[in-house]
Amino acid sequence: MRISVIGLGYVGSVSAACLAARGHEVVGVDVSPVKVELIGRGQAPVVEERIGELTAEVVASGALRATVDLASAIRATDVSLVCVGTPSAPSGSLSTEYLERVSAEIGEALAGLDRWHTVVFRSTMLPGTCESLLVPLLEKASGRSAGVDFGVAYNPEFLREGSSVKDFLDPPKTVIGEYDKVSGDVVAALYEGLPGEVFRVPVPVAEMAKYADNSFHGLKIAFANEMGAICRALGVDSHRMMDVFLADRKLNISPAYLRPGFAFGGSCLPKDLRGLVYAARRADIAVPLLSHVLPSNEEHLKRALDLVIGTGKRKVGLFGLSFKPGTDDLRESPLVELAERLVGKGYELRIYDANVALSRLMGANREYIDRHLPHLGELLCDSADDVLDFAEVCVVGFADPALSPVLDRAGDRPIIDLVRLPDAETRRAHPGYVGLGW
């Protein structure tokens, strides 16, 4: 199948490379010439496990190319996957600015086609957005009717940054919100042969399914972290307690995310929780639990800050900056927030994260860090050893076994563990070691 993927961020880059690897002819589209040039050189615009090698392979084979010309990509393909961002507005509402702009451009391109083309939205959006906002934009710009002259579908992604290639090829499920049956058939064909149950549902059901997933993931993390904080205060080993809790696979659902650690972040969970709470508030529906998930997450971040302040040290070494291991995504990373607050309070800070290089940050990722840590280049170090040499207190934000030998040389310096290191049990004997929730 001939496919255009519009928006070459994390979801778009992975979708384009994986679909190309599955034998499709793929054209990536982005307004950023830098991203397009990277694809042209066989390089991925994002840091993800396996994405670099996969991108190089499919570009070399001719299965994937990229362009800034959306109209030409539409003309050259039969189906378009729209993967542009839907960031939070200041009020917490969902911003559909990019979706609206792209929909109008796609509609203009459809006006010149004499064949069927299916537009598939993958961007996270609240129920009703596709049918009430985007479809009318497509129809107005094209002068044609959705479901009659061209197809529309909503196909949410369930990709975790850091393991998104694996998740694409081994999905937990495939959800197809079909505006019309023909478009549903087209989307189903894209994923034919992949594992996981396929759900073909109305578009609003598919839109809401994404929010249900992300809200529940955020809820699970906040729950585990609150339990960890209480357990620590009462002298209970939270991880041994959670082993008991997780043994119940019938009622307690899944161990995913249910380990006390640091606050959650990233480009999905905070944004989608804000968006859902905002939508509920507008509908005059009280959601006290969901309304307090982000405040709970904020309290957990404050606990980490208090631990650093409690050491009385002023030179802080931070190991990790992205919102989770295996990615360079800094958007709404709790470690970025922690770093920003430390700098704001006058602490001297040095940071090491093997996946984060200032020269590679671009798009929304670069814009976010420019707003929150504009002097990041002065704070980043080339190695964990450089951070250790500077630090009076070490703050560990990622669980990497390779970090243990470095921390072993910390001597009597305090070590604040935000993620429970693999050798946390052994480190308990160190008088300066303290776990955030265990």
- Active-site annotation, residues: 268
DSSP helix/strand/coil, 407: helix
**Longest Cα–Cα distance in the chain:** 73
**Residue 411: CA count within 13 A, CB half-sphere:** 7
- Which are the contacts of 150, defined by CB distance < 8 A and separation ≥ 6? 110, 113, 116, 117, 118, 119, 138, 142, 144
Question: Which ranges of 235-292 would DSSP assign to H, the alpha helix?
Answer: 238-246, 269-282, 288-291
Contact, 223 vs 257, CB < 8 A?
no
Q: What is the CA radius of gyration of the chain?
A: 23
Q: What are phi and psi of 199, to 5 degrees?
A: -115, 120
Burial 158-183 (b: 16+ CB within 10 A, else e): bbbbbbbbbbbbebeebbbbbbbeeb
Sheet with 25-29: strands ordered across: 64-67, 25-29, 2-6, 79-82, 118-121, 151-154, 173-178, 197-201
Answer positive or negative: Cα dihedral of 310, 316, 318, 323: positive
Contact, 91 vs 278, CB < 8 A?
yes
What distance in Å separates the CA atoms of residue 305 and residue 334, rounded to the nearest whole number? 11
* Cα 271 from chain centroid (whole Å): 10
Cα dihedral 66, 70, 72, 74, rounded to 10, equals 100
What distance in Å separates the CA atoms of residue 233 and residue 228, rounded to the nearest whole number? 9
Sheet with 315-319: strands ordered across: 348-352, 315-319, 393-396, 415-417, 433-435
Task: Give the start-end residues of each E strand in 17-70.
Answer: 25-29, 64-67
